[in-house]
Amino acid sequence: MVTDAHKVAQPLEVRHFIGGEFVDSLDGKTFDSLTPIDNSVVAHVAEGSAADADRAVAAAKGAFDRWSTMSPAARKKILHAVADGLEARLEEIAAWETRDMGKPLADSRTKDVPRAAYNFRFFADYADLAGLHAYDKPWEGSFGYELREPIGVAAAISPWNFPLMLLTWKVAPALAFGCTVVAKPAEQSPVTASLLAEVCRDAGMPDGVFNVVQGFGPDAAGEALTRNPDVAAVTFTGESATGKAIMGAAAGTLKKLSFELGGKSPAVVCADADLDAAVDGALLGVFLNQGEVCLAGTRIIVQRPVYDEFCARMVDRLAQWKVGNPFDDGVRVGPLVSQEHLDKVLGYIELAEEEGAKRLIGGSRLTDGDLALGNYLEPTIFADTHNGMRVCREEIFGPVATVMPFDEIDDAITMANDSPYGLAGMVWTQNLNTAHRLARSIKTGNVWVNCFFVRDLRLPFGGYKESGVGREGGEYSYEFFTESKAVVMKL
- Where on the chain is the footprint of ligand NAD (CB under 6 A)? 157-161, 166, 184, 186-187, 216-218, 222-223, 226, 237-239, 242, 245-246, 260-263, 294, 395, 397, 423, 463, 468
Smallest distance, ligand NAD to C-beta of residue 269, A: 22
Closest approach of Cβ 219 to ligand NAD, in Å?
8
The nearer residue to ligand NAD, 68 or 192, going by C-beta atoms, is 192
User: Minimum distance from CB of 290 to ligand NAD (Å)?
Assistant: 12
Secondary-structure percent of the chain, ordered helix, strand, coil, rounded to 5 = 40, 25, 35
Nearer to ligand NAD, 199 or 423 (CB): 423
Q: Taking a C-beta distance cutoff of 8 angstroms, is the pair 303, 338 a contact?
A: no
Residue with smaller CB distance to ligand NAD, 98 or 429: 98
Residue (197 or 246) nearer to ligand NAD, CB: 246
* Spatial separation of the C-alpha atoms in residues 52 and 16, rounded to whole Å: 8
Could you tell me if 208 and 180 are in contact, meaning their C-beta atoms sit under 8 angstroms apart? yes
For the chain, the first-to-last Cα distance in angstroms comes to 76
Which lies closer to ligand NAD via its Cβ, residue 273 or residue 346? 346
Least Å distance, CB 155 to ligand NAD, is: 9
Overall size of the chain counted in residues: 491
Contact between 396 and 298 (Cβ < 8 Å): yes
Residue nearest ligand NAD, Cβ-based: 217
Q: What is the DSSP string of 336-391?
A: -S-HHHHHHHHHHHHHHHHTTPEEEE--SB--SGGGGGTT-B--EEEES--TTSHH
Contact 152, 217 (CB under 8 A): no
**3-state secondary structure (DSSP) of residue 458:** coil
Closer residue to ligand NAD in complex, CB, 310/461: 461
Cα angle for residues 148, 460, 172 (degrees, 5° grid): 60
Sorted by sequence, the CB contacts under 8 Å of residue 35 that are 6+ apart come out as 6, 42, 99, 100, 102
Catalytic residue among 47, 97, 260, 292: 260
Give the whole-angstrom CA distance, residue 83 versus residue 106: 20
Cα dist from 106 to 94, 167, 407, 477, 487, whole Å:
9, 20, 39, 29, 51
- Helix ranges (H only) for 430-490 are 432-441, 474-481
Q: Which helix (H) or strand (E) holds 42?
A: strand 41-46
Q: Are 97 and 103 in contact (CB under 8 A)?
A: yes
Taking the C-alpha atoms of residue 145 and residue 487, their distance in angstroms, rounded to an integer, is 5
The angle at the Cα of 455, spanning 452 to 457, to the nearest 5 degrees, equals 170
Name the residue nearer to ligand NAD (CB basis): 205 or 423.
423
What DSSP letter does each residue of 388-400 carry, written as one string?
A: TSHHHHS---SSE
DSSP H helical segments within 181-330, as ranges? Answer: 191-202, 221-227, 240-251, 275-287, 304-318
Annotated active-site residue 260? The verdict is: yes
- Tell the smallest beta-carbon distance from residue 88 to ligand NAD (Å): 27
CB of 239 to ligand NAD, least distance (A): 4
Query: Coil, helix or strand for 296?
Result: coil
CB count, 10 Å around CB of 61?
Answer: 18
Question: Shortest approach of ligand NAD to residue 266 CB, angstroms?
Answer: 15
Residue 215 or 405: the one with the smaller Cβ distance to ligand NAD is 215
For residue 370, the minimal CB distance to ligand NAD (Å) is 26
- What residues act catalytically? 260
